[in-house]
Amino acid sequence: MLLITGMAGFIGFHLTQKLLNEGFSICGIDNLNNYYSPKLKIDRLKELGFFSDVVSRNGFLTKSENYSNLYFINLSIEDKPSLIKVFNDFKFDYIIHLAAQAGVRYSIENPEVYINSNIIGFFNILECCKVYQPKHLIFASSSSIYGLNKKVPFSEIDRTDQPASLYAATKKSNELMAHTYSYLFGIPITGLRFFTVYGPWGRPDMAYFKFTKKILEEEEIELYNYGKMKRDFTYIDDIVEAINKLIHLLPDKNINNSVSVPFEVYNIGNNNPVELKKFVSILEDLLGKKAKIRLMPLQKGEVVETYADIKNLYKKIGYKPATKIEDGLKNFVTWYKKYYNI
């Protein structure tokens, strides 16, 4: 049995679909918070066969009507007693921890929710793993931890002690916490530093989603750092394929001062950053509309460029992103128009 936290989220939803096709039995948890529209999260769950209103009720276990091996519980990872009960009931072999409070700018406005979800919530996951000893814990880190690092592409051995946002600081904390529990309790743990994931069913707070909406509605879009920003956009299918390959591949035991620790961290990006001006141009072609652009200075908490060095993940699983930005955005735009009846 496999646990996916944040199953109603963007990556969690796609990963669930992928792993169901691989034959996994899955229990997903999500608290369906209102950081962005809960309706989108519930619609993702409906795609997975959860049609009952009970998915919105806290603590209820629901079985998918489409899959006999899929379950969902509306649950917050900050709720430690309920989380312990879920671990005790299911005895998970594998855990993929994706639940977190996302967003760089939002962490400046609402720092407390990041401490609650990303620090306390992850602590609760680790405590459950300490007791129930799964075969492998995979958790979501972020490219944001590279912070003010000027060297590109970002490598896993680069310094990550200069975060530019509280969100980044919580993700760095997650890596340190995970290493500690791996060392102390022998839990095999793999962290994944995601680089700007995009695609159908994506998050409305992400730039590609907001740009698409505003271009279609002929509203002005803001390009920060006067449009001179680059992001290593990574298509969702490439992400879930990599996670699927990693589930049964336990981390190598890193030797530090003769102490063996079953812990690894990997970049998971496209290895091909795209300037935002080009990104917008591709969207304009796909939408058949010109964007109204307002150039703005760099925002607090943001970095100018993200660029993933993916050599280590290639060595581990042969990871090589297969989706070009033009194709990935075309798939997103097609989904967007269908979902919003445009």
**Pick from 92, 105, 97, 102: which is nearest to 126 by CA?**
97
Amino acid at 184: L
203 and 101 in contact (C-beta within 8 Å)?
no
Three-state DSSP state, 76 = coil
Helix, strand, coil in percent for the chain, rounding step 5: 45, 20, 35
Question: Which residues of the chain are under the pLDDT cut of 50?
Answer: none
Is residue 114 among the annotated active site residues? no
pLDDT at 236: 98
301: its two tokens? 């908490």
pLDDT at 325: 96
- Put residue 142 in one of left, alpha, beta given phi > 0 → left and psi -120 to 50 → alpha: beta
33 and 41 in contact (C-beta within 8 Å)?
no
35 vs 12: CA distance, rounded Å: 16
- Give the pTM: 0.95
Alpha helices by DSSP H, 100-151: 104-109, 111-114, 122-132
Contacts by 299-302 with C-beta closer than 8 Å and gap 24+? 299/105, 299/224, 300/105, 300/108, 300/164, 301/104, 301/105, 301/107, 301/108, 301/164, 301/165, 301/167, 302/104, 302/105, 302/164, 302/224, 302/225, 302/229
pLDDT at 327: 97
Among the listed residues 71, 106, 167, 181, the single catalytic one is: 167
Residue-range domain boundaries for the chain: 100-199+234-270+307-322
pLDDT at 148: 87
**240: which residues sit within 8 A by CB, 6+ positions away?**
11, 14, 15, 17, 18
Strand partners, 308: 154
- Put residue 257 in one of left, alpha, beta given phi > 0 → left and psi -120 to 50 → alpha: left
Each residue of 230-263: pLDDT tens digit?
999 999 999 999 999 999 999 976 655 556 899 9
**309: which residues sit within 8 A by CB, 6+ positions away?**
153, 154, 155, 156, 267, 271
236: its two tokens? 């969702």
CA-to-CA separations, 303 to 3, 12, 164, 165, 208, in angstroms, rounded: 33, 26, 8, 10, 17
pLDDT at 30: 97
CATH 3.60.15.10, applies to 100-199+234-270+307-322: no
202 and 236 in contact (C-beta within 8 Å)?
yes
283 vs 217: CA distance, rounded Å: 13
pLDDT at 300: 76
34: its two tokens? 């209102």
